[in-house]
């Protein structure tokens, strides 16, 4: 399983793309998780084919996680995508996403490829992937996701403070990504994660590696300094490509990532 970090930034970041990852399995099946305003350009810069991404999964539809859908669909239409696309989202959040698709093709009313809309369930299968989801603590219902495929397991929080349910999803995963807005501890009723909470998560869940992301720009220097001293935690960044089959998670493989050296593991 490979993880391509499309974006690692918070909603209004001036230095990073809005948070999103692409997942590629051993059969070249590809998912995109979240699609904020800067994500389409990052995808085009990678020369990803218009038919390559089969699924978009929306953790929630705050604009920094969803507003890029219109531009992406418009580009796929303009360059004659032919393969069907599946969009997973929460049922109550589907209509705004459908409006973005309508905007992408307006004044026309049809897309040149099929779009299949799927509600997010607590547990489901997709091809050979086993998927579980759970809510985090956020201003809007947000579905963290755990994906098991090719004998590897990935957790991605989307947005929001961890809950008991989302922490359970992170248990013993090979790789976890947890939203961590702040270096300082935030109040327990906050909608965002923080570094002290992420340190506890790493210990309590037994995750082999934890990448923190969606960090406020002003917190990044302190977070970058802090993760140097936290084994198996790293600060995610745009363009990072991780191959879980090649990473030796028992030998501090993320030291170079933590101090900002190199882009691929």
Q: What is the full DSSP assignment across 136-183?
A: -B-SS--EEEEEEETTEEEEE--SSB--HHHHHHTTT-SEEEEE--BS
User: Each residue of 224-238: pLDDT tens digit?
Assistant: 999 999 999 999 999
User: Each residue of 1-36: pLDDT tens digit?
Assistant: 999 999 999 999 999 999 999 999 999 999 999 999
What pTM value is reported for the model? 0.94
* CA 44 to each of CA 47, 89, 241: distance values in angstroms, whole numbers, following the listed order: 5, 23, 16
> Using CA atoms, how far apart are residues 115 and 123, in angstroms rounded to an integer?
22
Whether 205 contacts 172, CB under 8 Å: yes
> Using CA atoms, how far apart are residues 35 and 6, in angstroms rounded to an integer?
9
Q: Which residues of the chain have pLDDT under 50?
A: 249-253, 255-265
> Using CA atoms, how far apart are residues 120 and 138, in angstroms rounded to an integer?
17
pLDDT at 27: 96
pLDDT at 246: 81
> Using CA atoms, how far apart are residues 183 and 198, in angstroms rounded to an integer?
10
User: Each residue of 93-103: pLDDT tens digit?
Assistant: 999 999 999 99
Whether 195 contacts 183, CB under 8 Å: yes
């Amino acid at each position: 399983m490979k993880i391509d970090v499309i974006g690692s930034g918070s909603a209004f970041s001036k230095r990073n793309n809005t948070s999103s990852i692409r997942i590629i399995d051993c059969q070249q099946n590809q998912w995109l998780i979240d699609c904020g305003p800067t994500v389409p350009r990052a995808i085009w810069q990678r020369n990803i084919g218009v038919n390559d991404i089969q699924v978009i999964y929306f953790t929630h539809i705050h604009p920094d996680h969803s507003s890029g859908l219109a531009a992406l669909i418009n580009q796929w239409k303009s360059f004659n995508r032919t393969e069907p696309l599946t969009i997973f989202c929460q049922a109550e959040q589907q209509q705004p996403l459908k409006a973005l698709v309508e905007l992408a093709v307006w004044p026309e009313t049809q897309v040149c490829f099929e779009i299949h809309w799927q509600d997010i369930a607590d547990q489901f299968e997709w091809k050979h992937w086993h998927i579980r989801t759970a809510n985090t603590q956020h201003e809007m219902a947000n579905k963290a996701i755990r994906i098991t495929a090719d004998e590897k397991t990935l957790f991605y929080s989307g947005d929001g403070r961890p809950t008991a349910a989302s922490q359970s999803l992170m248990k013993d995963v090979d790789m976890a990504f947890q939203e961590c807005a702040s270096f300082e501890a935030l109040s327990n009723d906050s909608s965002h994660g923080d570094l002290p909470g992420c340190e506890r998560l790493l210990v309590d869940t037994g995750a082999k590696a934890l990448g923190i992301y969606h960090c406020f720009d002003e917190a990044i220097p302190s977070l970058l300094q802090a993760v140097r001293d936290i084994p198996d935690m790293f600060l995610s960044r745009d363009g990072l490509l991780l191959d879980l089959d090649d990473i030796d998670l028992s030998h501090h493989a993320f030291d170079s990532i933590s101090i900002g050296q190199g882009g691929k593991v």
